[in-house]
Amino acid sequence: MTDHPALSSDEFDSLLEVSQGAAQREIPQLHWERLVALGYAVRRLGELGLTASGTRRLATGK
C-alpha cells in the first residue's frame, strides 16, 4: 500500500514539469493548486518549485 495521495496521470505529468524548474510550461491551475495543497510544490514569486516531498513523490513513479 502507498502512503501518498493518488495523482492522476496528468497531475503527475505536471509534477514532472515543475521539476524542470525555469523550463516549465504552463500547467493547469487546478494541478498546481493540488500539488501545492499536497505539499509537493510551493509557489514563490509566481513560480512553482518542487519540495522535498515532491522529489520523493517523483521517485515513487506514477
The percent of the chain in helix, strand and coil, each rounded to the nearest 5, is 50, 15, 35
Q: pTM score, two decimals?
A: 0.83
- The reported pLDDT for the residue numbered 1 is 41
Total domains in the fold of the chain: 1
- The reported pLDDT for the residue numbered 46 is 78
> What's the pLDDT tens digit per position in 2-61?
567 789 999 999 999 999 876 567 889 999 999 999 999 998 887 889 999 999 999 988
Please check whether residue 19 lies inside any domain of the structure: yes
Please check whether residue 3 lies inside any domain of the structure: no
- The reported pLDDT for the residue numbered 54 is 94
CB 35 within 8 A of CB 48: yes
Please check whether residue 4 lies inside any domain of the structure: no
